[in-house]
Amino acid sequence: MKNFDYFKPDTIKDACSLLSEYQGEAKIIAGGQSLLILMKERIIRPSYLIDITGIPKLDHAQYDDKEGLRIGALTTHREIETSSLIKQRYTLLSEVEIDIASVQIRNVGTVGGNLCHADPCGDFAPPLIGLESKVRLTGMESERILPLEDFFTDYFETALQEHEILTEILVPSPLPYSGAWYHKCSPRETDPAVVGVAVVLCLDSPNGECQTIRIVLGGVGQVPLRAKKAEARLQGNTINEKLINEAAKIAKEEANPISDLRGTEEYKRAMVELLTKEGIEKALEKAKK
Ligand SMILES: Cc1cc2nc3c(=O)[nH]c(=O)nc-3n(C[C@H](O)[C@H](O)[C@H](O)COP(=O)(O)OP(=O)(O)OC[C@H]3O[C@@H](n4cnc5c(N)ncnc54)[C@H](O)[C@@H]3O)c2cc1C
Protein backbone atom coordinates (compact mmCIF):
# COMPACT_ATOMS: atom_id res chain seq x y z
CA MET A 1 0.00 0.00 0.00
CA LYS A 2 1.24 3.47 -0.82
CA ASN A 3 2.27 5.60 2.20
CA PHE A 4 -0.22 8.24 3.25
CA ASP A 5 -0.65 10.97 5.85
CA TYR A 6 -3.43 10.43 8.34
CA PHE A 7 -5.69 13.06 9.89
CA LYS A 8 -8.41 12.65 12.49
CA PRO A 9 -10.38 15.90 12.67
CA ASP A 10 -12.96 16.53 15.45
CA THR A 11 -15.38 18.58 13.40
CA ILE A 12 -17.14 18.32 10.04
CA LYS A 13 -15.78 21.75 9.16
CA ASP A 14 -12.17 20.65 9.73
CA ALA A 15 -12.73 17.45 7.72
CA CYS A 16 -14.19 19.46 4.82
CA SER A 17 -11.36 21.95 5.05
CA LEU A 18 -8.78 19.11 4.75
CA LEU A 19 -10.71 17.68 1.79
CA SER A 20 -10.62 21.07 0.15
CA GLU A 21 -6.90 21.58 0.87
CA TYR A 22 -5.89 18.19 -0.54
CA GLN A 23 -8.45 18.01 -3.36
CA GLY A 24 -8.03 14.95 -5.52
CA GLU A 25 -5.39 13.43 -3.21
CA ALA A 26 -7.43 12.83 -0.05
CA LYS A 27 -10.04 10.21 0.87
CA ILE A 28 -12.43 10.07 3.77
CA ILE A 29 -12.15 6.89 5.81
CA ALA A 30 -14.97 5.72 8.10
CA GLY A 31 -14.99 1.97 8.89
CA GLY A 32 -12.38 1.30 6.19
CA GLN A 33 -14.09 -1.95 5.12
CA SER A 34 -14.28 -1.00 1.44
CA LEU A 35 -11.63 1.68 1.20
CA LEU A 36 -8.75 -0.39 2.58
CA ILE A 37 -9.39 -3.21 0.11
CA LEU A 38 -9.16 -0.76 -2.79
CA MET A 39 -5.98 0.72 -1.31
CA LYS A 40 -4.35 -2.67 -0.69
CA GLU A 41 -5.11 -3.67 -4.27
CA ARG A 42 -3.73 -0.29 -5.41
CA ILE A 43 -6.92 0.51 -7.25
CA ILE A 44 -6.84 3.86 -5.49
CA ARG A 45 -3.73 5.47 -3.97
CA PRO A 46 -4.67 8.47 -1.82
CA SER A 47 -1.87 10.52 -0.25
CA TYR A 48 -4.06 11.63 2.65
CA LEU A 49 -6.66 9.79 4.71
CA ILE A 50 -9.16 11.80 6.70
CA ASP A 51 -10.65 9.66 9.44
CA ILE A 52 -14.10 11.00 10.36
CA THR A 53 -14.82 8.54 13.17
CA GLY A 54 -13.74 11.10 15.81
CA ILE A 55 -16.46 13.55 14.76
CA PRO A 56 -19.23 13.46 17.37
CA LYS A 57 -22.98 13.25 16.68
CA LEU A 58 -22.75 11.39 13.40
CA ASP A 59 -23.80 7.99 14.71
CA HIS A 60 -27.43 8.52 15.64
CA ALA A 61 -30.71 6.93 14.60
CA GLN A 62 -33.51 9.27 15.66
CA TYR A 63 -37.18 9.23 14.81
CA ASP A 64 -40.09 11.59 15.06
CA ASP A 65 -43.48 11.34 13.37
CA LYS A 66 -43.07 14.59 11.45
CA GLU A 67 -39.51 14.24 10.14
CA GLY A 68 -39.24 10.47 10.05
CA LEU A 69 -35.94 8.70 10.62
CA ARG A 70 -32.56 10.43 10.62
CA ILE A 71 -29.53 8.17 10.46
CA GLY A 72 -26.07 9.62 11.03
CA ALA A 73 -23.48 8.61 8.42
CA LEU A 74 -21.25 6.93 11.03
CA THR A 75 -24.00 4.61 12.25
CA THR A 76 -22.76 1.06 11.73
CA HIS A 77 -24.65 -1.65 9.88
CA ARG A 78 -24.86 -3.57 13.14
CA GLU A 79 -26.48 -0.61 14.94
CA ILE A 80 -29.19 -0.47 12.25
CA GLU A 81 -29.67 -4.23 12.42
CA THR A 82 -30.11 -4.29 16.19
CA SER A 83 -31.92 -0.98 16.80
CA SER A 84 -35.34 -1.67 18.35
CA LEU A 85 -36.61 1.61 16.89
CA ILE A 86 -35.68 0.51 13.36
CA LYS A 87 -36.92 -3.04 13.88
CA GLN A 88 -40.29 -1.66 14.91
CA ARG A 89 -40.78 1.17 12.38
CA TYR A 90 -38.50 0.31 9.45
CA THR A 91 -38.39 -3.48 9.62
CA LEU A 92 -37.11 -3.67 6.05
CA LEU A 93 -33.87 -1.89 6.96
CA SER A 94 -33.03 -4.19 9.86
CA GLU A 95 -33.90 -7.24 7.72
CA VAL A 96 -31.61 -6.06 4.92
CA GLU A 97 -28.72 -5.59 7.33
CA ILE A 98 -28.75 -9.22 8.47
CA ASP A 99 -27.49 -10.25 5.03
CA ILE A 100 -24.89 -7.54 4.58
CA ALA A 101 -21.38 -9.00 4.90
CA SER A 102 -20.38 -10.71 8.16
CA VAL A 103 -21.15 -9.55 11.67
CA GLN A 104 -17.50 -8.46 12.03
CA ILE A 105 -17.82 -6.16 9.01
CA ARG A 106 -21.23 -4.94 10.12
CA ASN A 107 -19.74 -3.98 13.49
CA VAL A 108 -17.31 -1.59 11.83
CA GLY A 109 -18.72 -0.68 8.39
CA THR A 110 -20.90 2.40 8.37
CA VAL A 111 -24.04 3.11 6.40
CA GLY A 112 -22.51 6.35 5.10
CA GLY A 113 -19.50 4.37 3.87
CA ASN A 114 -21.75 1.84 2.19
CA LEU A 115 -23.58 4.55 0.22
CA CYS A 116 -20.47 6.62 -0.60
CA HIS A 117 -18.65 3.50 -1.84
CA ALA A 118 -21.47 3.46 -4.45
CA ASP A 119 -21.13 -0.16 -5.43
CA PRO A 120 -24.11 -0.75 -7.78
CA CYS A 121 -24.44 -4.18 -6.12
CA GLY A 122 -24.68 -2.66 -2.61
CA ASP A 123 -27.69 -3.81 -0.62
CA PHE A 124 -28.49 -0.74 1.40
CA ALA A 125 -29.31 1.74 -1.37
CA PRO A 126 -32.25 0.00 -3.14
CA PRO A 127 -34.45 -0.28 0.00
CA LEU A 128 -33.57 3.29 1.02
CA ILE A 129 -34.45 4.60 -2.45
CA GLY A 130 -37.68 2.59 -2.25
CA LEU A 131 -38.45 4.39 1.01
CA GLU A 132 -37.88 7.76 -0.72
CA SER A 133 -34.82 8.61 1.37
CA LYS A 134 -32.66 11.66 0.99
CA VAL A 135 -29.07 12.36 1.95
CA ARG A 136 -27.59 15.40 3.64
CA LEU A 137 -24.29 16.46 2.10
CA THR A 138 -22.26 18.91 4.14
CA GLY A 139 -19.48 21.09 2.76
CA MET A 140 -17.23 23.77 4.25
CA GLU A 141 -19.89 26.45 4.32
CA SER A 142 -22.85 24.85 2.67
CA GLU A 143 -25.26 22.02 3.04
CA ARG A 144 -27.61 20.40 0.54
CA ILE A 145 -30.17 17.64 0.64
CA LEU A 146 -30.45 15.30 -2.32
CA PRO A 147 -32.88 12.44 -3.06
CA LEU A 148 -30.78 9.30 -2.66
CA GLU A 149 -31.74 8.16 -6.15
CA ASP A 150 -29.89 11.21 -7.55
CA PHE A 151 -26.82 10.60 -5.37
CA PHE A 152 -25.37 7.80 -7.51
CA THR A 153 -23.93 9.01 -10.79
CA ASP A 154 -21.94 6.06 -12.19
CA TYR A 155 -20.14 2.86 -11.11
CA PHE A 156 -18.59 3.76 -7.73
CA GLU A 157 -19.27 7.47 -8.36
CA THR A 158 -21.51 9.85 -6.44
CA ALA A 159 -22.73 13.42 -6.59
CA LEU A 160 -20.46 14.35 -3.65
CA GLN A 161 -18.27 17.33 -4.46
CA GLU A 162 -14.58 17.20 -3.50
CA HIS A 163 -15.09 19.11 -0.24
CA GLU A 164 -18.33 17.42 0.85
CA ILE A 165 -19.14 14.69 3.35
CA LEU A 166 -22.31 12.66 3.60
CA THR A 167 -23.54 13.43 7.10
CA GLU A 168 -27.08 12.09 7.36
CA ILE A 169 -29.67 9.86 5.71
CA LEU A 170 -33.28 11.02 5.98
CA VAL A 171 -36.04 8.43 5.68
CA PRO A 172 -39.68 9.60 5.68
CA SER A 173 -42.25 8.07 8.02
CA PRO A 174 -43.92 4.99 6.56
CA LEU A 175 -47.45 5.68 5.28
CA PRO A 176 -50.49 3.65 6.40
CA TYR A 177 -51.23 0.56 4.29
CA SER A 178 -47.69 0.42 3.01
CA GLY A 179 -45.48 -2.63 2.58
CA ALA A 180 -41.79 -2.98 1.82
CA TRP A 181 -39.62 -5.86 0.71
CA TYR A 182 -36.03 -6.47 -0.47
CA HIS A 183 -34.34 -9.61 -1.62
CA LYS A 184 -31.07 -10.35 -3.33
CA CYS A 185 -29.58 -13.28 -5.11
CA SER A 186 -25.89 -13.80 -4.45
CA PRO A 187 -23.57 -16.83 -4.18
CA ARG A 188 -23.62 -16.52 -0.38
CA GLU A 189 -26.26 -14.65 1.60
CA THR A 190 -23.68 -12.24 2.95
CA ASP A 191 -22.12 -11.28 -0.39
CA PRO A 192 -23.24 -8.11 -2.16
CA ALA A 193 -26.15 -8.70 -4.52
CA VAL A 194 -25.69 -10.14 -7.99
CA VAL A 195 -29.21 -8.82 -8.43
CA GLY A 196 -31.24 -7.14 -5.67
CA VAL A 197 -34.79 -5.83 -5.90
CA ALA A 198 -36.61 -3.56 -3.47
CA VAL A 199 -40.35 -2.93 -3.67
CA VAL A 200 -42.12 -0.36 -1.53
CA LEU A 201 -45.80 0.24 -2.16
CA CYS A 202 -48.68 2.04 -0.54
CA LEU A 203 -52.39 1.29 -0.95
CA ASP A 204 -55.24 3.78 -0.47
CA SER A 205 -57.06 1.31 1.83
CA PRO A 206 -56.37 -2.28 3.01
CA ASN A 207 -57.70 -3.86 -0.19
CA GLY A 208 -57.64 -0.76 -2.32
CA GLU A 209 -55.73 0.70 -5.23
CA CYS A 210 -52.00 1.10 -5.36
CA GLN A 211 -51.35 4.74 -4.54
CA THR A 212 -47.58 4.76 -4.93
CA ILE A 213 -45.00 2.13 -5.74
CA ARG A 214 -41.24 2.13 -6.09
CA ILE A 215 -39.40 -0.77 -7.65
CA VAL A 216 -35.63 -0.40 -7.32
CA LEU A 217 -33.18 -2.70 -9.06
CA GLY A 218 -29.63 -3.24 -7.77
CA GLY A 219 -26.72 -4.87 -9.62
CA VAL A 220 -28.21 -4.39 -13.08
CA GLY A 221 -26.91 -0.98 -14.08
CA GLN A 222 -24.22 1.56 -13.25
CA VAL A 223 -26.37 2.79 -10.36
CA PRO A 224 -29.46 1.46 -8.55
CA LEU A 225 -32.30 1.83 -11.09
CA ARG A 226 -35.97 2.66 -10.66
CA ALA A 227 -38.14 0.45 -12.87
CA LYS A 228 -40.44 3.37 -13.62
CA LYS A 229 -42.44 1.78 -16.43
CA ALA A 230 -43.16 -1.23 -14.26
CA GLU A 231 -44.21 1.09 -11.45
CA ALA A 232 -46.56 2.94 -13.83
CA ARG A 233 -48.22 -0.35 -14.78
CA LEU A 234 -49.34 -0.81 -11.15
CA GLN A 235 -49.89 2.69 -9.86
CA GLY A 236 -53.57 3.69 -9.66
CA ASN A 237 -54.73 0.10 -10.12
CA THR A 238 -55.93 -2.66 -7.85
CA ILE A 239 -52.99 -5.01 -8.02
CA ASN A 240 -53.77 -8.53 -9.27
CA GLU A 241 -51.75 -11.47 -10.53
CA LYS A 242 -51.96 -10.41 -14.17
CA LEU A 243 -50.64 -6.92 -13.44
CA ILE A 244 -47.88 -8.32 -11.23
CA ASN A 245 -46.70 -10.61 -14.04
CA GLU A 246 -46.83 -7.77 -16.55
CA ALA A 247 -44.93 -5.39 -14.27
CA ALA A 248 -42.24 -8.01 -13.57
CA LYS A 249 -41.73 -8.53 -17.32
CA ILE A 250 -41.47 -4.78 -17.87
CA ALA A 251 -38.88 -4.49 -15.06
CA LYS A 252 -36.86 -7.24 -16.74
CA GLU A 253 -36.67 -5.05 -19.86
CA GLU A 254 -35.87 -1.90 -17.90
CA ALA A 255 -32.85 -3.52 -16.25
CA ASN A 256 -29.53 -2.80 -17.90
CA PRO A 257 -27.21 -5.60 -16.78
CA ILE A 258 -23.91 -6.70 -18.29
CA SER A 259 -22.54 -10.23 -18.38
CA ASP A 260 -19.64 -10.68 -15.99
CA LEU A 261 -18.10 -13.29 -13.71
CA ARG A 262 -21.09 -13.11 -11.40
CA GLY A 263 -23.71 -13.91 -14.04
CA THR A 264 -24.80 -13.49 -17.63
CA GLU A 265 -27.02 -10.69 -18.78
CA GLU A 266 -29.83 -13.20 -19.41
CA TYR A 267 -29.52 -14.67 -15.92
CA LYS A 268 -29.62 -11.24 -14.31
CA ARG A 269 -32.69 -10.20 -16.33
CA ALA A 270 -34.44 -13.44 -15.36
CA MET A 271 -33.65 -12.75 -11.70
CA VAL A 272 -35.05 -9.23 -11.99
CA GLU A 273 -38.34 -10.65 -13.27
CA LEU A 274 -38.48 -13.29 -10.55
CA LEU A 275 -37.54 -10.98 -7.67
CA THR A 276 -39.82 -8.18 -8.88
CA LYS A 277 -42.78 -10.56 -9.00
CA GLU A 278 -42.01 -11.91 -5.54
CA GLY A 279 -41.32 -8.41 -4.24
CA ILE A 280 -44.67 -6.99 -5.36
CA GLU A 281 -46.52 -10.00 -3.92
CA LYS A 282 -44.76 -9.77 -0.55
CA ALA A 283 -44.98 -5.97 -0.26
CA LEU A 284 -48.70 -6.16 -1.15
CA GLU A 285 -49.26 -8.82 1.51
CA LYS A 286 -47.61 -6.59 4.11
CA ALA A 287 -49.53 -3.48 3.00
CA LYS A 288 -52.85 -5.32 3.38
CA LYS A 289 -52.01 -6.21 6.96
C1 LIG B 1 -16.17 -9.22 2.69
C2 LIG B 1 -17.15 -8.10 2.45
C3 LIG B 1 -18.48 -8.42 2.22
C4 LIG B 1 -19.39 -7.39 1.98
N5 LIG B 1 -20.69 -7.72 1.74
C6 LIG B 1 -21.57 -6.73 1.49
C7 LIG B 1 -22.94 -7.04 1.24
O8 LIG B 1 -23.38 -8.20 1.28
N9 LIG B 1 -23.76 -5.99 0.92
C10 LIG B 1 -23.34 -4.69 0.89
O11 LIG B 1 -24.13 -3.79 0.62
N12 LIG B 1 -22.06 -4.37 1.17
C13 LIG B 1 -21.18 -5.35 1.46
N14 LIG B 1 -19.88 -5.04 1.73
C15 LIG B 1 -19.50 -3.62 1.72
C16 LIG B 1 -19.65 -3.03 3.13
O17 LIG B 1 -20.98 -2.90 3.49
C18 LIG B 1 -19.06 -1.70 3.07
O19 LIG B 1 -17.72 -2.00 2.89
C20 LIG B 1 -19.15 -0.83 4.30
O21 LIG B 1 -20.45 -0.55 4.62
C22 LIG B 1 -18.43 0.46 4.00
O23 LIG B 1 -18.47 1.26 5.15
P24 LIG B 1 -17.14 1.80 5.77
O25 LIG B 1 -17.54 2.68 6.89
O26 LIG B 1 -16.21 0.70 6.06
O27 LIG B 1 -16.59 2.69 4.55
P28 LIG B 1 -15.10 3.01 4.14
O29 LIG B 1 -14.47 1.80 3.61
O30 LIG B 1 -14.40 3.73 5.22
O31 LIG B 1 -15.39 4.05 2.95
C32 LIG B 1 -15.97 3.62 1.74
C33 LIG B 1 -15.98 4.79 0.75
O34 LIG B 1 -16.86 5.80 1.17
C35 LIG B 1 -16.18 7.04 1.45
N36 LIG B 1 -16.83 7.56 2.65
C37 LIG B 1 -17.08 6.85 3.81
N38 LIG B 1 -17.86 7.56 4.61
C39 LIG B 1 -18.10 8.74 3.99
C40 LIG B 1 -18.86 9.90 4.34
N41 LIG B 1 -19.57 9.97 5.48
N42 LIG B 1 -18.89 10.94 3.47
C43 LIG B 1 -18.20 10.87 2.30
N44 LIG B 1 -17.47 9.80 1.91
C45 LIG B 1 -17.44 8.75 2.75
C46 LIG B 1 -14.73 6.68 1.56
O47 LIG B 1 -13.89 7.75 1.14
C48 LIG B 1 -14.64 5.51 0.61
O49 LIG B 1 -14.54 5.97 -0.71
C50 LIG B 1 -18.96 -6.04 1.98
C51 LIG B 1 -17.62 -5.71 2.25
C52 LIG B 1 -16.71 -6.73 2.49
C53 LIG B 1 -15.29 -6.37 2.78
pLDDT tens-digit readout, 108-119: 999 999 999 999
**What is the distance between the alpha carbons of residues 277 and 289, in angstroms, rounded to a whole number?**
19
- For 141-192, the pLDDT digits (tens) are 899 999 999 999 999 999 999 999 999 999 999 999 999 999 999 988 778 8
Quick count: other Cβ atoms within 10 Å of Cβ 289? 8
Residues 16-42, mean pLDDT to the nearest whole number = 96
Average pLDDT, the chain: 96
Cα distances (angstroms) measured from residue 148 to each of 86, 173, 217, 224: 19, 16, 14, 10
Q: Is the distance from the beta carbon of residue 16 to the nearest atom of ligand 1 less than 6 Å?
A: no
Residues 48 and 35: beta-carbon distance below 8 Å: no
DSSP the chain: ----EEE--SSHHHHHHHHHHTTTTEEEESS-TTHHHHHHTTS---SEEEE-TTSTT-S-EEEETTTEEEEETT-BHHHHHH-HHHHHH-HHHHHHHHTSS-HHHHHH-BHHHHHHHT-TT-SSHHHHHHTT-EEEEE-SS-EEEEEGGGTEEETTEES--TT-EEEEEEEPPPPTTEEEEEEEE-SSTTSPPSEEEEEEEEESSTTS-EEEEEEEEESSSSS-EE-HHHHHHHTTS---HHHHHHHHHHHHHH-----BTTB-HHHHHHHHHHHHHHHHHHHHHHHH-
Q: Is the distance from the beta carbon of residue 34 to the nearest atom of ligand 1 less than 6 Å?
A: yes
Q: How far is the CA of 111 from the centre of ligand 1 (A)?
A: 7
pTM score of the predicted model: 0.97
Q: Is the pLDDT of residue 261 over 80?
A: yes
Q: For a pocket test of ligand 1, which of 80, 102, 117 has the largest count of ligand atoms closer than 8 A to its C-beta?
A: 117
Residues 52 and 58: beta-carbon distance below 8 Å: yes
Ligand 1 atom nearest the C-alpha of 36 is 29
- For 187-221, the pLDDT digits (tens) are 887 788 999 999 999 999 988 999 999 999 999 99
pLDDT of residue 96: 96
pLDDT of residue 226: 98
- For 36-75, the pLDDT digits (tens) are 999 999 999 999 999 999 999 999 999 999 999 999 999 9
pLDDT of residue 289: 86
pLDDT of residue 188: 83
